[in-house]
Amino acid sequence: MRRPFLNSREVSSSRKHRRIFAVNGVEMCVDCVEKEYPNRGNICLENGSFLLNFTGCAVCSKRDFMLITNKSLKEEDGEEIVTYDPDLCKNCHHVIARHEYTFSIMDEFQEYTMLCLLCGKAEDTISILPDDPRQMTLLF
């Protein structure tokens, strides 16, 4: 994945600068998170926010719950893609990140992925068969 362009933007008359970047036309704020795109292993969240990674809103300086907005669901080539701006500050409506979650079925497996500045990146694969063929041992 190509690294988005980082730039600075003036926020207020106090001349405070915050680092933001845009992905697919949605600005995301690097200053609101402790770590950008943390590795979450196989924990793929369809919705919600990873509040442990949220340092507080860079605009209003409050650390509160997030609002889920602009949620969309689309299907492309058998893949379900859920995107939303969940990480919207409850107090000042500052957009912190865009959350993308995908679900697809490939052969005998369900595949999940998640990508979000706040929630992190993760992927998981689960067998749709009663017995996971990856877990089977060969009997000779």
As a whole number of angstroms, the longest Cα–Cα distance in the chain is 75
3-state secondary structure of 52: helix
CB-based contact 28:107 (threshold 8 Å): no
What is the tens place of the pLDDT at every residue in 88-104? 788 888 888 888 889 88
Strands (E), 11-130: 17-23, 26-29, 66-76, 79-89, 95-106, 109-116, 120-127
Report the side by side order of strands in the sheet with 26-29: 7-10, 17-23, 26-29
pLDDT (tens digit per residue) in 48-80: 788 899 998 888 999 888 887 778 888 888 788
Q: Are 111 and 105 in contact (CB under 8 A)?
A: yes
The answer, yes or no, to whether residue 43 has pLDDT greater than 80, is yes
